[in-house]
A = this chain, B = another copy of it.
Amino acid sequence: MELKTKVTAEEGKQELIVTREFDLPLDLLFRAYTEPELVAEWMGTKVLKLENKKYGSWRFETTDPQGNKHGFSGTIHDFVPNQKIVRTFEMENSGFGVQLEFLEFEQLTDNTSKLRMHIIYKTLEERAQYLQIGMARGMGLAHNRLEKAAFKFLKY
């Protein structure tokens, strides 16, 4: 399956730019990042906390096939509905560091929209670690699930 998500890792910069166009209206794309039920479906996580507000925080948890729990969490620095979310992100107890993510949501047409993520890392090495574990492909596949889950959600 073609991955529509583009991940740009410019040489020597401690950042990633991720862009993706969705066959979803803007408000539904935004809901896929903010409604616990939808987030849980496409990310495959339990949504333990998701405070959609400036100075809020969030925490998700997955369980691997061996039954081990893995937590992901962070704070929400900024939150503007249908426009942007600025948040920190950390894979807990993973040896990976804390990153800062700028998510920008944009309407393209009535039925299509675009997500742009600008992720900054403490070091070049941390960015390399994320790329090495297949983050680019993983995100592309997750975005495919997002589109499918959100579309289904619409019809309910």
Binding site for B on A (CB under 8 A): 12-15, 55, 57, 73-78, 86, 88, 90, 98-100, 102, 118, 120-122
Counted per complex, copies of this chain come to 2
A18, chain B: closest CB distance, angstroms: 14
Q: A15-B14, A98-B100, A102-B98 are in contact. Are A90 and B77 (CB under 8 A)?
A: yes
- Complex CA gap A84/B86 in Å reads 22
- Whether the pair B74, A77 counts as a contact (CB closer than 8 A) is yes
Residues of B within 8 A of A74 (CB): 77
Instruction: Find chain B residues with CB under 8 A from A98 CB.
Output: 77-78, 86, 100, 102
Closest to A119 in B: B122
Residues in B neighbouring A102, C-beta threshold 8 A: 98, 122
Q: Which residues of B contact A90 (CB under 8 A)?
A: 77-78
Q: Which of B12, B15, B75, B78 contacts A77 (CB 8 A)?
A: B75
Whether B14 pairs with A120 at a CB distance below 8 angstroms is yes
Q: Please pick, from B14, B75, B76, B78, the residue contacting A14 in the complex, using a CB distance under 8 A.
A: B14
Q: Quick one: closest B residue to A59, CB to CB?
A: B55
Min distance, Cβ A84 to any Cβ of chain B, angstroms? 10
